[in-house]
């Protein structure tokens, strides 16, 4: 097959695929989120940050981040706490985690 | 015993230089040149911070394979075991590492800005122009078609895609293509701005775009599934790359598979990045790498990035006109991928004209669309040439 | 060129539907049905939180393999490489992933409640009744013996054990059995309570059990070693599963191998869970999955869970009588495994009758005993049929 | 071999193995823990938590957990700090860890 | 080959390699660090700690370590925070991390 | 049916003891003795904290392989799959795990003290004397040359190096050599001090050394590259071990590859340590381990550590004289490797004479030099005997 055919089919396929996808995504807007469009005044670049800080979900992170940032004088953006994890996975119950946590620090077994 | 000592000395790498299969100018062993190239790569990765997660392992792999007689890439012969990196290389050769790395990339990628602005996808498509123009250019420069396709994919600005395609079509070019791809990705802040300024007017660059709508969790969950089915049906050969990317993204978005997402984007991607980088670097033996082709590839790679940038910008201009001036064409250049570097470049260039302009989130849409776009382009190449 | 475009169109998955090996009703390609099944699994995993760590990868693997012409499970042919998931599948086929996943499970499991109350082990044994009753039932329903054993093990309510046994005895049933096992595990809070209430009196359900004794660190260290030796000598074929489970538990308990325990229960188990889930899902091709057998397996799996629950409860009642009313029979149902879901169900059902009753820790004993019990049952099946 | 034989031997083996184990565990009680049985009044479900909180080993965890919980308004059971690890493993000395920690945050080398 | 030859060549090679390396390292001193030699009075064993504590790089670590140590009564050397990581890697931007962090804790999606 | 039950009983491990290939004294099956040896190793690892990260997996692997008929190390036969640990063992046999573990070790190692004091390297060389003296001794005791080299490397006091060399030269001795190496590393605080006191005067032990100079980040980055090139050219067969060690160290020092360093020293090294430990332990079948050779190896290993310690101390004394009394010979013993245990011993022994003396950082130089030194010694052995 010659290169022109490949190029023509290639460019067409890329556009066809992505245009199809964009049609699907336009449907998304009507199916999933008709009333959710809000337009806050975008004053700062931190478009993401306010959402995190003000949503109830983000509170705990914001507090931890701010606390560490405040106590060290570094900007909150320059580091992250990688390992605050939600309890979950493989259904291990909470007492399992607490137990493991205790042993992780002390290398000893907390009797439960 | 003196005989033994002599034999031992002949087993050293210093002596190995003398047996080099490639003497440049008749007396400089190719391996020596390659060691210098490896040092240059390490320098770029470490001191210049050019995609260090890839260029440091690649550079080190290149260094190891060019220590004469080290045998780190020797295949197994009879009952003799192979060299260490030969084993690691099988994951590249069999097409295993790049899709799994893509899974990690997927679990690091937020498609929210793309879902919020579906038109981004067109820009992500336009920026793949660099792939195809370079493919044609490489054909004209005398590369055979499989090699030309592998070279063209550099314009996809996406490492795993480039390595996956090249390992399928023309493994001999792996190191040159990987190095060119990652180097130019690192150089995006230098390559793109002049092109962006040349092709846009000051007025266009100052356009402030509408705030993106909120994207619900449900949309983010459905998106990777839809992409997999739609693109997978259209182009079956793109399934390994796109499917893995989308699986990783699904792990990220479900809210109930955080463990898997976390491992995909940390332990797993890091382990495979080390293996892939060292293995790709170790394919750079002197006789394969010290060829005129390598220079041509580096030149063509630059063209690929430039054309891709231009493609995105020009479609951005057109869309701006059609939308009545609501689209800043600068976000088009982000369509080449190089996530999130190219999107940051859009932000920086835009902010220079209009300090209150925040294009980053708008540019993230074309940026992640470009990843999908180049995976599809790679799928087309595999369908025809694989 | 038009000829080429036509050929390209015939290489798409849409065209692939037309070549499906399995046309349902003569015109619906089986792959299309399978895509819907895959979407259902993803829905159950994500929206209904049915064991999402397994059902999301399984569902996605099923989706990938049923995109026509995607070739994700193609075995290697000549010098052509195999499909991506075919490589991942080798770890299932060779029996490598399930024991290593079990190692992670072991490092997440606290056998303390079991050590404190050895009688728990009897309940953990009784609840394996579901395995054997279902094995007989499946025989009567016409399954050949290896298939029947694989179906029976669903009653063990333990994913890695079920997958390990099925991959050894009857790999064609892997997806059906894995899906049934994980779905019913997720449904334990719905399946078990009616059976528990039917078989117990209100007075029995209100029994408050004695506080468990403290268990020393030394006992917890010796326990996994003793289990390995004792069960390993009794039933050598259970060594891969039980040995790995106990090694993981030993890492957890020694106090000096926290690094290994941490990796076994995080990076390692997560990586293997992704690989195993996707690979098991990808064995679900239309022609293997869209069979009457699959429905039978789903029915038999429910029976297995129910009989296992009843077995545990009934022995619990007997032990209560023998012990003079000191054992709440509700903890018996936890013996099916499904850690720690079944133990939580015992707690919830017990607390409904007597709000001050805390059965959780007492039910954890039979619960973890059930894991050992079903691994032994699997060992017996392998000994006779493997 | 017929299914009945397999079933009979299977059920017997499962019971035999677990009954043997339970005998061994009964021995455990006499060998390892004769004087350790305590019977606190089990008032709440959190049978595990008191042990962790009151044992000297659990103190540090309890303090960290409580501190973060208090400052964020979330229950302590809903998250865990996954990565407070005991110093150990491969014998790397403390100075190694401090050094690595410093570099992890700043990407620069603390001269030692 | 006899064992004596192997031994002689072996010992020679080990010394030759390590002596060559030590010559290279002597060059290092002149090339890289001619003016950096400082001689603080080494009074305590903690040769590493002061460097970390006083260098600007080490400040944030020192503060976090000290804070946790102080609030728990454990020595700072007995544990480490393994996961305060520099933002970086695969070029993921800061907003990505914040987003992920939020979801990691709550298992829910912060809309951004 | 009674026939079937009898057959089942003959498939248990208890019956397997009767078929043991090795009956000690005519009636004690070797496997039973091996189970006791395995329990001893677990005891040493857990209760005595002898290198538990290795001895716990090794002990458990030994336990698993000596449960009769467990088949955990059975190679594949025809279409039958192999035992679980046989698959894990391939990474040892092919020489893959030890270099990758070394990469993790490199990313945990700070070569700063060595760079600050290049003379340390001589001490790291002198302490390898134990390797060669033991090599000669093992030859005299009747071991064939490959076995003697593997035994000698115990004196390198470096686990991955010892396992790598032995797996290349004489795999039958793997468990004995690994166990001896790790046990003596754990016993360094007991083995070394008497030798150190015997060979030094009180005055020598009291010598306070000059503060080490600061080492810049640049030096730390260049160091691993220089070592790889220099030693790799001199001794190509040392490239897999040394190259990996130095790659890990480079990840650690660049400041831009923290992700890779983190994974190399956590998830990756932990996974491979589990696999390697269990696999090495599982090579300890009764007929290979219960030999007089094993006792000889344990004896020779002790000699190797002692001679290495003496070698380092004696060169330390010489260097002290030549430097005009500025070098405390106690840091020489740290040259055996056993990082950082041996350096701590130097510190403790020195501080006992002079409480204000802090030798730890000075001893870290020879300590990490010893790792390089024994890798080079292993390279020489492979060059001549591999
Ligand atoms: Na792209
Ligand atoms: Na079970
Ligand atoms: Na050494």
Mean of pLDDT values over B230-244:
94
Higher pLDDT, D73 or C195: C195
Q: Do C14 and B233 touch (CB under 8 A)?
A: yes
- At D50-60, the pLDDT tens digits run 332 333 333 33
The pLDDT assigned to D35 comes to: 54
Distances in Å between the Cα of F369 and the Cα atoms of B60, D27, F226 are 21, 51, 14
The predicted structure's pLDDT at residue E100: 36
D-chain residue closest to C210, CA distance: D39
- What is the Å distance from ligand 1's center to B335 Cα? 7
- Supply the pLDDT for residue C299: 93
Summarize the confidence of residues B166-171 as an average pLDDT: 95
Nearest Cα residue to C372 out of C51, C127, C95:
C127
Average pLDDT over residues D4-24: 94
pLDDT at C62: 96
Tell me the residues of F at the D interface, defined by beta carbons under 8 Å apart. Answer: 1, 4-5, 8, 53, 105, 108, 110, 112, 214-217, 220, 252-253, 255-256, 258, 262, 269, 339-341, 344, 360-361
Give the three-state DSSP class for C77: strand
Band (E35; pLDDT cuts 50, 70, 90): low
Q: What is the dihedral of CA B216, B222, B227, B233, to 10 degrees?
A: -160
For residue B220, the model assigns a pLDDT of 95
Mean pLDDT of F277-304: 93
pLDDT for B260-297, tens place per residue? Answer: 999 999 999 999 999 999 999 999 999 889 989 999 99
Tell me if C151 sits within 8 A of C297, measured CB to CB.
yes
Residue B162 pLDDT? 96
Percent of chain F with pLDDT over 70: 100
Which one is predicted more confidently, F232 or E36? Answer: F232
Closest residue in E to B217 (Cα–Cα): E109
Which pLDDT score, from 0 to 100, does residue D48 have? 34
**Ligand 2 centroid to E11 CA: how many Å?**
59
Expressed in angstroms and rounded, the spacing between residue F368 Cα and the centre of ligand 3 is 8
Mean pLDDT value across residues A81-99: 37
Q: DSSP states of B129-165 as a string?
A: HHHHHHHHHHHHTT--HHHHHHHHGGGG--HHHHHHH
The pLDDT, as a whole number, for residue A34 is 54
- Which helix (H) or strand (E) segment holds residue B23: the answer is strand B23-24
CB contact under 8 A, D7 and C373: no
Quick check: A44 pLDDT over 50? Answer: no
Is B84 in contact with F95 (CB distance < 8 Å)? yes
**pLDDT-derived band at A53, boundaries 50, 70, 90:** very low
**pLDDT of res. F115:** 94
Residues of chain A with C-beta less than 8 angstroms from the C-beta of B139: 3
Task: Kindly state whether residue C2 falls inside one of the protein's structural domains.
Answer: no
Cα–Cα dist A29/B218, whole Å: 11
Q: Give the Cα separation of C276 and D102 in Å (integer).
A: 38
Q: Given this model, what pLDDT does residue F288 score?
A: 87
Residue C15 lies in a domain: no
CB contact under 8 A, B63 and F99: no
Interface touch B255/E92, C-beta < 8 Å: no
Reduced 3-state DSSP string for chain F: CHHHHHHHHHCCHHHHHHCCCCEECCCEEHHHHHHHHHHHHHHHHHCCCCCHHHHHHHHHHHHHHCCCCCCCCCCCECCECCCHHHHHHHHHHCCCHHHHHHHHHHHHCCCHHHHHCCCHHHHHHHCCHHHHHHHHHHHHCCCCHHHHHHHHHHHHCCHHHHHHHHHHHCHHHHHHHHHHHHHHHHHHHHHHHHHHHHHCCHHHHCCCCCCCCCCCHHHHHHHHHHHHHHHHHHCHHHHHHHHHHHHHHHHHHHCCCHHHHHHHHHHHHHHHHHHHHHHHHHCCCHHHHCCHHHHHHHHHHHHHHHHHHHHHHHHHHHHHHHCCCCCCHHHHHHHHCCCCHHHHHHHHHHHHHCCCCCCHHHHHHHHHHHHHHHHHHHHHHHHHHC
Q: State how far residue E93 is from chain B, nearest Cα, in angstroms.
A: 7
What pLDDT does residue B214 have? Answer: 87
% of chain F at pLDDT higher than 90: 84
Res F93 pLDDT > 90: yes
For residue C24, the surrounding DSSP H or E stretch is strand C23-24
F119 compared with A73, residue with greater pLDDT: F119
- Nearest CA to B134 out of B310, B289, B280, B366 is that of B310
Q: Who has greater pLDDT, E81 or F40?
A: F40
pLDDT band with cut points at 50, 70 and 90 for residue E33: low
- Which stretch of B160-169, B275-284, C57-66, E42-51 has the lowest confidence by average pLDDT? E42-51
Within 8 A of A63 by CB-CB distance, chain D residues are 71-72
- pLDDT score for B12: 84
Chains that touch F (3 or more CB pairs under 8 A): B, C, D, E
Asked if the model's pLDDT at residue E108 lies above 50, the reply is no
Partner-chain contact E72 D60, CB within 8 Å: yes
Higher per-residue confidence, C239 vs D63: C239
Per the structure, the count of domains in chain F is 1
More confident residue, F302 or D75: F302
- Spatial neighbors of A16 by CB under 8 A, at least 6 apart, are B234
pLDDT tens string B71-106: 899 999 988 899 999 999 999 999 999 999 999 999
Ordered by start, the domain boundaries in chain A are 3-35, 55-106
Output the pLDDT for position B20.
Answer: 78
CA–CA dist B196, B349 (Å, integer): 8
Query: What does the DSSP assignment read for chain D?
Result: --HHHHHHHHHHHHHHHHHHHHHHHHHHHHHH-TT--------SS-SHHHHHHHSGGGHHHHHHHHHHHHHHT--GGGEEE--EEES-STT--HHHHHHHHHHHHHSSPPP-
For residue F20, the model assigns a pLDDT of 78
Q: Residue B28 — very low, low, confident or very high, per pLDDT cuts 50/70/90?
A: confident
In a domain, F11, yes or no: no
Can you state the percent helix, strand and coil of chain B, rounding each to 5? 75, 0, 25
Does D61 have pLDDT greater than 70? Answer: no
β-pair type (B28-29, A84-86): unpaired
Residue E68 clears pLDDT 90, i.e. is over it: no
Residue B184 counted as domain residue = yes
In terms of residue numbers, what domain contains C153?
Answer: 25-71+94-385
The number of C-alpha atoms within 13 Å of F75 and in the hemisphere containing its C-beta is 5
**Over 90: is that where the pLDDT of A84 sits?**
no
Q: Do B53 and E89 touch (CB under 8 A)?
A: yes
Mean model confidence pLDDT for chain B: 93
F84 part of a folded domain: no
Give the one of F211, F223, F235 whose C-beta lies nearest to E17's C-beta.
Answer: F235
**How close is the nearest chain C Cα to the Cα of D59, in Å?**
18
For the segment F186-212, the average pLDDT, to the nearest whole number, is 93
* Closest-CA residue to F337 (of F267, F241, F272, F247): F241
Q: How far is the CA of F366 from the centre of ligand 3 (A)?
A: 9
Please give chain C's pLDDT, 386 residues, in tens. Answer: 678 888 888 888 887 787 777 777 777 888 999 999 999 999 999 999 999 999 999 999 999 999 998 889 999 998 889 999 999 999 999 999 999 999 999 999 999 999 999 999 999 999 999 999 999 999 999 999 999 999 999 999 999 999 999 999 999 999 999 999 999 999 999 999 999 999 999 999 999 998 888 899 999 999 999 999 999 999 999 999 999 999 999 999 999 999 999 999 999 999 999 999 999 999 999 988 998 999 999 999 999 999 999 999 999 999 999 999 999 999 999 999 888 899 999 999 999 998 888 899 999 999 999 999 999 999 999 999 98
């Amino acid at each position: 097959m010659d290169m022109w055919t490949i190029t023509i089919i290639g460019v067409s396929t890329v556009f066809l695929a992505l245009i199809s996808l964009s049609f699907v995504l336009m449907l998304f807007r009507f199916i999933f989120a008709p009333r959710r469009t809000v337009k806050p005044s975008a004053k700062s670049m931190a478009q993401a940050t306010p959402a995190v800080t003000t949503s109830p979900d983000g509170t705990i992170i914001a507090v931890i981040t701010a606390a560490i940032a405040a106590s060290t004088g570094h900007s909150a953006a320059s580091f992250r706490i990688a390992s605050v994890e939600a309890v979950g996975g493989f259904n291990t119950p909470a007492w399992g985690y607490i137990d493991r946590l205790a042993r992780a620090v002390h290398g000893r077994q907390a009797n439960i | 015993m003196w005989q033994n000592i002599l034999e031992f000395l002949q087993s050293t790498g210093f002596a190995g230089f003398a047996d080099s299969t490639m003497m440049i100018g008749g007396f400089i062993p190719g391996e020596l040149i390659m060691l210098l190239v490896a040092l240059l790569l390490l320098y770029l990765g470490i001191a210049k911070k050019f995609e260090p997660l890839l260029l440091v392992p690649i550079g080190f792999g290149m260094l190891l394979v060019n220590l004469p007689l080290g045998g780190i890439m020797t295949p197994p012969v009879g009952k003799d075991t192979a060299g260490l990196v030969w084993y690691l290389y099988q994951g590249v050769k069999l097409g295993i590492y790049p899709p799994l790395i893509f899974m990690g990339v997927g679990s690091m990628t937020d498609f929210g800005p793309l879902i919020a602005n579906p038109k981004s996808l067109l820009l992500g498509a336009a920026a793949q122009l660099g792939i195809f123009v370079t493919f044609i250019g490489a054909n004209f420069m005398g590369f055979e078609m499989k090699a030309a396709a592998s070279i063209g994919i550099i314009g996809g600005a996406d490492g795993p895609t480039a390595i996956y395609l090249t390992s399928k079509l023309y493994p001999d070019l792996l190191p040159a293509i990987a190095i060119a791809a990652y180097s130019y990705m690192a150089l995006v802040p230098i390559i793109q701005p002049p092109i962006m300024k040349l092709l846009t007017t000051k007025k266009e660059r100052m356009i402030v775009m509408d705030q993106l709508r909120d994207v619900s969790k449900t949309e983010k969950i459905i998106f990777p599934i839809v992409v997999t089915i739609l693109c997978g049906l259209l182009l079956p050969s793109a399934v390994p790359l796109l499917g893995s990317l989308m699986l990783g993204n699904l792990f990220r978005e479900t809210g109930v598979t955080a463990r898997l997402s976390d491992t995909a984007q940390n332990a797993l991607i890091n382990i495979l990045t080390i293996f892939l980088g060292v293995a790709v670097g170790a394919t750079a033996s002197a006789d394969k790498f010290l060829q005129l082709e390598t220079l041509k590839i580096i030149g063509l790679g630059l063209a690929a990035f430039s054309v891709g940038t231009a493609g995105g910008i020009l479609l951005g201009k057109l869309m701006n006109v059609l939308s009545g001036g609501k689209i800043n064409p600068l976000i088009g250049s982000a369509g080449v991928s190089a996530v999130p570097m190219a999107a940051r470049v859009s932000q920086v260039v835009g902010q220079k004209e209009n300090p209150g302009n925040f294009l980053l989130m708008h540019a993230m849409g074309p940026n992640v669309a470009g990843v999908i776009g180049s995976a599809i382009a790679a799928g087309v190449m595999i369908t025809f040439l694989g």
